[in-house]
């Protein structure tokens, strides 16, 4: 197999030939067809997440087909198309796992961060965490659903049922979620980097009711806001934009420090919460809705060997929607 490997933090990924791996008990091997590039991959490369492990193969939006099955695996078959998301393994025994909060497991493994991921021609996964995908949609279009879509979905559920929804940072996750929210008859208010009029136009094309810079206030108070951008300064901005009792959801795994702000922004029962990881049930819930919603994906494909270019373009905001690597 071949992979783009992170050998040391803050360095480019290196193209490497590795011995083929054999799935152990409870594992499957997946021949990768496409793997999305997520902002979290940048945090992994930059060493911004706790306890970084190198060498590691990043990538946690994996679409592929099972080409080997270890002992004791049930319910999956050779050739089946599956998705391998960020949550790669949980202990099944901690207080979070046994109360349907496996996203908060005390002893988890995360794909592309603490176990090898999908910037590769093949990957080994814990079979219990593989999501059956069916055959609808191309591999490239489905890949970004596995993190951008799933984390967006979990964030949307946690944001509550309010109709006016703000999305801060209009990248891969927001471009999917805007369509989900529109399907739910919500009004989306899209906030981009100040002055990024092309991304604002992109948001409007996807059905956003309003689009503007993150330094602007929406024309009406929002019921909820989800922050996908990694900029802590957006937290007080979003709190200012939501109505009394409104909720601000931080969807990213990493954010720059949040500046101090007057208590009046939180007063009147505004809520500030974060979303961490996903559960397998989130995956099943969201993927069952996708065909009904008819999400139009905007993707920019790159050959696997150009992973560093894809990461650089993501960092610089040089494409609309989501980048996807193809082995």
Cβ nearer to Zn ion, comparing 187 with 299 = 299
Interface stretch with Zn ion, choices 84-92, 132-140, 280-288, 300-308 (CB under 5 A): 84-92
CB contact at 8 A, 81 and 265: no
Distance CA 217, CA 230 (A): 19
Task: Indicate whether 279 belongs to the interface with Zn ion (CB under 5 A).
Answer: no
Binding Zn ion by CB under 5 A: which of 27, 40, 250, 283? 40
Task: Indicate whether 91 belongs to the interface with Zn ion (CB under 5 A).
Answer: yes
Q: CA 273, 277, 280: angle at the middle one, nearest 5?
A: 125
Task: Indicate whether 90 belongs to the interface with Zn ion (CB under 5 A).
Answer: yes
> Which phi and psi angles does 16 have, rounded to 5°?
-145, 140
Cβ nearer to Zn ion, comparing 90 with 214 = 90
Least CB distance to Zn ion at residue 105 (A): 3
Binding Zn ion by CB under 5 A: which of 6, 82, 105, 226? 105
Task: Indicate whether 147 belongs to the interface with Zn ion (CB under 5 A).
Answer: yes
Pick the closest to residue 285 from 125, 154, 126 (CA basis): 154
C-beta atoms surrounding 298 within 10 Å: 16
Preceding amide of 315 cis, omega within 30: no
- What are the residues facing 164 on neighbouring strands? 187
Task: Indicate whether 38 belongs to the interface with Zn ion (CB under 5 A).
Answer: yes
Interface stretch with Zn ion, choices 130-138, 140-148, 184-192, 198-206 (CB under 5 A): 140-148
Number of Cα atoms under 13 Å in the Cβ half of residue 57: 25
Task: Indicate whether 173 belongs to the interface with Zn ion (CB under 5 A).
Answer: no
Interface stretch with Zn ion, choices 14-22, 45-53, 85-93, 277-285 (CB under 5 A): 85-93
Task: Report the run of H or E that residue 202 belongs to, with start and end.
Answer: helix 197-205
Binding Zn ion by CB under 5 A: which of 1, 34, 63, 97? 97
Task: Indicate whether 35 belongs to the interface with Zn ion (CB under 5 A).
Answer: no
C-beta atoms surrounding 280 within 10 Å: 16
Work out whether strand 322-326 and strand 299-303 pair parallel, antiparallel, or are unpaired: parallel
Least CB distance to Zn ion at residue 30 (A): 17
- The pair of three-digit structure tokens given for residue 190, joined into one six-digit string: 């899209």
Number of Cα atoms under 13 Å in the Cβ half of residue 65: 8
Interface stretch with Zn ion, choices 35-43, 75-83, 111-119, 168-176 (CB under 5 A): 35-43
Task: Indicate whether 324 belongs to the interface with Zn ion (CB under 5 A).
Answer: no
Least CB distance to Zn ion at residue 39 (A): 7
Cβ nearer to Zn ion, comparing 162 with 252 = 252
Site for Zn ion, rule CB under 5 A:
38, 40, 90-91, 94, 97, 105, 147
């Amino acid at each position: 197999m071949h992979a783009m490997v992170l050998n040391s933090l803050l360095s480019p990924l290196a193209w490497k030939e590795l011995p083929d791996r054999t799935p152990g008990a409870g594992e499957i091997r997946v021949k990768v067809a496409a793997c999305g590039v997520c902002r979290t991959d940048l945090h992994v490369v930059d060493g911004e997440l706790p306890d970084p492990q190198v060498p590691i193969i990043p990538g946690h939006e994996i679409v592929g087909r099972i080409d080997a099955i270890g002992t004791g695996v049930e319910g999956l078959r050779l050739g089946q198309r599956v998705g391998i998301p960020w949550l790669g393994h949980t202990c099944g025994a901690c207080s979070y796992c046994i109360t349907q909060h496996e996203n908060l497991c005390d002893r988890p493994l995360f794909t592309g961060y603490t176990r090898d991921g999908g910037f590769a021609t093949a990957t080994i996964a814990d079979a219990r965490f593989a999501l059956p995908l069916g055959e609808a949609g191309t591999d490239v279009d489905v890949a970004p659903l596995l993190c951008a879509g799933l984390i967006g979905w979990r964030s949307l559920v946690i944001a509550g049922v309010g109709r006016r929804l703000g999305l801060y940072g209009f990248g891969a996750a927001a471009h999917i979620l805007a369509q989900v929210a529109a399907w739910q008859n919500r009004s989306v208010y899209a906030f981009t980097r100040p002055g990024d009029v092309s991304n604002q136009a992109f948001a409007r094309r996807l059905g956003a009711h309003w689009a503007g810079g993150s330094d602007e206030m929406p024309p009406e108070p929002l019921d909820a806001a989800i922050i996908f951008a990694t900029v802590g300064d957006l937290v007080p901005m979003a709190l200012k934009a939501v109505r009394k009792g409104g909720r601000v959801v931080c969807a990213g795994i990493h954010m720059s420090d949040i500046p101090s702000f007057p208590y009046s922004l939180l007063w009147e029962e505004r809520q500030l919460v974060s979303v961490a990881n996903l559960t397998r049930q989130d995956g099943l819930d969201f993927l069952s809705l996708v065909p009904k919603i008819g999400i139009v994906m905007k993707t920019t494909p790159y050959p696997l060997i150009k992973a560093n270019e894809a990461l650089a373009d993501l960092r610089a905001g040089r494409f609309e929607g989501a980048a996807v690597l193809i082995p």
